[in-house]
Structure 1
C-alpha cells in the first residue's frame, strides 16, 4: 500500500511539474490556441484551426502593417480576436463607408469626412486591425483602433485539425502565416 501511494505521489508530482512547464512556456514564448469564426478566411479556417502566437510581439513590440495578431477584444476583454494589422500609429485610415454613424459621438477625431469617405488617424500607441474576410468581420471598423497593450502576440503558424496530422510520413495541416503586405511606396 505504501509503495502505491509513493508511486501515485511521484506521478502526480510529474504531472504538476509538466503542467507548470507548459503554462510558463505558453505565457512567455509561444501560445497554442484555437480560433473560431469566419473573419480571417482564407488565412485561417472557420473551425478546428489552431494558431501559434509568438509572445515576443506582445504589447505591439516589433509589429508591422500586414502582421496577423492575437489581441484582447476591446469591447470584451474575456475574448480574444485574430486580426491583421492594416494601420499603424499615425496612419490615415479610410473607414468603411458602409458603417455609417459608428463614429458619431466617438472621442477620436475624424480627420476628413464627406458623404462617401470617412478617414481617421490611428492614435499613438494603437493599431487598426481588420479581418481578411471583411464581410464577416467585427474589427476596428466597429470597435475602433485597439491599444498596443491589448496585443498578446503575432500569429506565426497555424495547424488545421480538419486534416489528419500525419499521413505517409508527411505532416498535414501545418502552415506558416506570412505577412503578405506589399509596400508600394
Structure 2
C-alpha cells in the first residue's frame, strides 16, 4: 500500500515538473499575458487592460518603430514598463516636449531604442531616462485581450507626428 502511494506521488511530482518546464519555456520564449497599469499609454492601453506580449520578435531583432513593447524599467528593474518605440539605433529623435519653444534632438545609440508613452503629458519615458538598451525589452505587445469590447490588434499611435 505504501509503495503504491509512493509511486503515485513520484509520478505526480514528475508530471508537475514536466508541465512546469513547458509553461516556463512558453512564457519565457513565446509570450506572456500582461496586465498594464498607469495612464502613460492612454488611449491605446488603459489602466488594468490585459495584453498579450510575444517574445519572438525580440529574439529575432524585429522590433520596429511604432511597436508597443514591454520592457524592464531602467530606473527600477523590478518593474516593467509598456511604451511605444519611437526611435531605433541611429535614429534622430526629438527629445523636447510638444509645447517646448526650442526643440532639441538626440541620436539613439547602437543597441538602444527610444520609448515614449502615447499620453505624452503623463508619461515617464525616454524623455526622462534616455534611450534604453535593447536587452531590457521583454516582448512586443500584439493583442489586447481585456476588456472584451476592446479585444483585437492595437491601434496606431495617436501621436502620428512623433514617430520619426
TM-score normalised to structure 1 length? 0.73
Any unmatched runs of 5+ in structure 1?
Answer: 101-114, 164-171
Q: Is the 8 A contact 2:116 2:125 kept in 1?
A: yes
Give 1:144's match in structure 2, choosing from 127, 130, 133: 130
Where does residue 13 of structure 2 map in the other structure? 12
Give 1:116's match in structure 2, choosing from 85, 98, 102: 102
Any unmatched runs of 5+ in structure 2?
Answer: none
State the shift of 1:116 in Å.
1.9
State the shift of 1:12 in Å.
3.4
Where does residue 143 of structure 2 map in the other structure? 157
Where does residue 37 of structure 2 map in the other structure? 36
State the shift of 1:57 in Å.
2.0
Q: Is the 8 A contact 1:130 1:137 kept in 2?
A: yes
State the shift of 1:4 in Å.
4.2
State the shift of 1:61 in Å.
0.6
User: More strand per residue: 1 or 2?
Assistant: 1
Provide the C-alpha distance between the structure 1 equivalents of 2:61 and 2:142, rounded to a whole number of angstroms.
14
Where does residue 85 of structure 1 map in the other structure? 85
Provide the C-alpha distance between the structure 1 equivalents of 2:151 and 2:115, rounded to a whole number of angstroms.
24
State the shift of 1:11 in Å.
3.0
Provide the C-alpha distance between the structure 2 equivalents of 1:96 and 1:59, rounded to a whole number of angstroms.
31
Where does residue 107 of structure 1 map in the other structure? none
* Mean CA deviation greater in 56-65 or 145-154: 56-65
Q: Is the 8 A contact 1:54 1:153 kept in 2?
A: yes
Give 1:126's match in structure 2, choosing from 112, 116, 121: 112
Would you say how many aligned residue pairs link Structure 1 and Structure 2? Answer: 161
Where does residue 174 of structure 1 map in the other structure? 151
* Mean CA deviation greater in 1-10 or 138-147: 1-10
TM-score normalised to structure 2 length? 0.82
User: More helix per residue: 1 or 2?
Assistant: 2
State the shift of 1:142 in Å.
0.5
Q: Is the 8 A contact 1:39 1:132 kept in 2?
A: yes
State the shift of 1:14 in Å.
2.3
State the shift of 1:155 in Å.
0.8
Provide the C-alpha distance between the structure 2 equivalents of 1:64 and 1:83, rounded to a whole number of angstroms.
13
Query: RMSD of the TM alignment (CA)?
Result: 2.9
